[in-house]
Amino acid sequence: MSSINYSEKIPNNVNLAEDRTLQRALEGWQPNFINWWDDVGPEGSTNYDVYLRTAVSVDPQGWAQFGHVKMRDYRWGIFLNPGDAERKIHFGDHMGEKAWQDVPGEHRANLRRIIVTQGDTEPASVEQQRHLGLTAPSMYDLRNLFQINVEEGRHLWAMVYLLHKHFGRDGREEAEALLERQSGDENNPRILGAFNEKTPDWLSFFMFTYFTDRDGKFQLSALAESAFDPLARTTKFMLTEEAHHMFVGESGVSRVIQRTCQVMNELKTDDPKKVREAGAIDLETIQRYLNFHYSVTIDLFGADQSSNAATFYSSGLKGRYEEGKRTDDHVLKNQTYKVLEVKDGQLLEKEVPMLNALNEVLRDDFIKDSVAGVGRWNKVIEKAGIPFRLTVPHKAFNRAIGALAGIRMSPDGRVVSESEWDAKKKDWLPTDEDRAFVASLMGRVVEPGKFANWIAPPVMGINRQPVDFEYVRFA
Ligand SMILES: [Fe+2]
Ligand SMILES: [Fe+2]
């Protein structure tokens, strides 16, 4: 078992004590991190004892220890998956060469940019979710929110470690800047669009953790293939934490749907108005939230054609999702890939060099993965005997990045006129009224075992604890 040293101020499994300069630099950054947590982390939670899992080793099995802790005392630290001294680069122009333990000079700027962009999303989501604790639908859900928040904080640590260890002075400056940008801030926003959106209610939160944390899964998976070994090992460990975040999203939306279907069957109605009057969220509104979060999230993969994506791949910085399981040549020089464009009001496919289309390749892998969960949500509706089905919108719907940016497209994939868009938008994307309605349901329910009216209880508790376990102790 590869264990983590908790006797140090900064828990780690990278022998931090042997590198005094680095240790001092990180100990200098630590108080700023805590200040950031106090300023924009989960609101009003300082004195809560939360039943959290903490990483105690980096073994895939049994790395987690559960217990009540104050979030401020959570053992944020630096944990890398074990290294393999023989590891070889397995894609791109350097295929077959030894993986890098340090940053090669010629890739320094690109690697720093990749790490900073990933790092920036981690504190951003904590900021976006800052107020949600005040409206938790149950103590169980409150605990899950806090678990995600502390782990996103740890993911920030993971990226900051790489910046401090491998990028010298500019790395330290970037690490500071990660605490200075703020989600939604007009003057100094987070780097990526979806991370400047609000997460104002729990339906948004569940959609966010289902879709946007899944973007995290795919980005981290691509980085886990990197020729820069410390980045590969760091992101591999982050992925083990990410799985729980997506579980919270998938099961959260599923429980909302379950409750809605129950109300529909009790009232024998499919009228959204009546569903709302009964205090549940109508399936139409859930569909609009889904459309929004899905389209905003697939923008995160970047432009469909990108010379940066080609460079990142060929130089070994970022692979594809499950690169090792693919059976092509892992160089991709003569291959092509289909991307979409709109010409004369028509949606067309065109073949482009695959290396330039790697953002699109990753986006399509993400789409496959996220559609599967939507199918599981539909099973809940089907089981309730209700004919409604949720769908993911067309890939070109509501896009703001790449060739499809600004194209007016219906969720079912028709190019539409500006006037049709204006007329139908309210059926396709959450309206202010939808959001106000969902917000009106958000009252705080935190007695053990009690749940808000708009969401069903989970099937099981966390870590085999009962559903009515005291997951959070309020001081
Ligand atoms: Fe994360
Ligand atoms: Fe996450």
Token duo for residue 401: 């990045």
CA distances from 194 to 92, 124, 222, 299, 449 (A): 30, 10, 19, 8, 33
pLDDT for position 2? 62
Q: Which ligand number lies closest to the CA of residue 159?
A: 1
Residue 288 banded pLDDT, cuts 50, 70, 90: very high
How far does the centroid of ligand 2 lie from the alpha carbon of residue 122, in Å? Answer: 7
195 C-alpha to center of ligand 2: Å?
A: 12
What's the pLDDT tens digit per position in 350-372?
999 999 999 999 999 999 999 99
Taking phi over 0 as left and psi of -120 to 50 as alpha, with beta for the rest, 402 belongs to left
SS (H, E, C) 159-187: HHHHHHHHCHHHHHHHHHHHHHCCCCCCC
**Nearest ligand for residue 156 CA:** 1
Separation of 423 CA from ligand 2 center, angstroms? 36
Average pLDDT for residues 210-231, to the nearest whole number?
Answer: 98
472-473, strands of its sheet edge to edge: 64-70, 49-55, 472-473
Cα separations (Å) of 69 from 52, 320, 463? 7, 38, 15
**What is the rounded CA–CA span in Å between residue 252 and residue 258?**
10
pLDDT of residue 55: 85
Distance CA(411)–CA(398), nearest Å, equals: 8
Ligand 1 centre to CA of 79 (Å) is 14
What is the average pLDDT across 233-241?
94
pLDDT bucket at 9, cuts 50 / 70 / 90:
confident
Reading the block at residue 462, the tokens are 């966390």
Residue type, 401: I
Q: d(Cα 446, Cα 449) in Å, to the nearest integer?
A: 8
DSSP 348: E
Distance 152 CA to ligand 2 centre (A): 6
CA pair distance 238, 224, nearest whole angstrom: 10
**Cα of 121 to ligand 2 centre, how many Å?**
9
- What is the residue whose two structure tokens read 């399509």? 364
Can you give the residue ranges of every domain in the chain? 16-473
The class of domain 16-473 in CATH terms is mainly alpha
- For residue 92, is pLDDT > 70? yes
pLDDT (average), residues 247-253: 98
Centroid of ligand 2 to alpha carbon of 310 (angstroms)? 26
Does residue 147 have a pLDDT over 70? yes
Mean residue pLDDT across the chain: 95
What is the CA(243)–ligand 1 centre distance, in A? 10
- Residue 62: the pLDDT is 67
- Residues 157-167 have a mean pLDDT of 97
Q: Which two tokens stand for residue 162?
A: 């790489």
Give the pLDDT mean for 396-403.
Answer: 96
Q: Distance, CA 219 to ligand 2 centroid (Å)?
A: 11
* pLDDT (0 to 100) of residue 57: 80
Residues with CB under 5 A from ligand 2 (ion): 213, 216, 242, 245
pLDDT band at residue 345 using 50, 70 and 90 as cut-offs: confident
**Rounded distance from Cα 41 to ligand 2 centre (Å):** 15
Is the predicted pLDDT of residue 1 greater than 70, yes or no? Answer: no
CA of 209 to the centre of ligand 2 (A): 7
Residue-wise DSSP of 427-473: HHS--HHHHHHHHHH-----STT---TTSPPPSS-GGG--TTS--EE
Contact yes or no for 194/213 (Cβ under 8 A):
no
Query: What pLDDT shows up at residue 475?
Result: 75
CA distance 115 to 286: 34
Strands, DSSP E only, in 315-471?
A: 336-343, 346-353
Q: Distance from the CA of 156 to the center of ligand 2, in angstroms?
A: 11
Q: How far is the CA of 350 from the centre of ligand 2 (A)?
A: 34
Residue 69, phi then psi, degrees to nearest 5: -140, 155
Average pLDDT on 163-181 reads 97
| pLDDT tier for residue 468 given thresholds of 50, 70 and 90 | very high
Tens-place pLDDT, residues 36-78: 999 999 999 999 999 999 888 888 766 788 999 999 889 888 9
Provide the CB-side half-sphere exposure for 408 (13 A, CA): 12
Residue type for position 75? R
Report pLDDT digits (tens) over 423-435: 999 999 999 999 9
* Ligand 2: centre distance to CA 146 (Å): 12
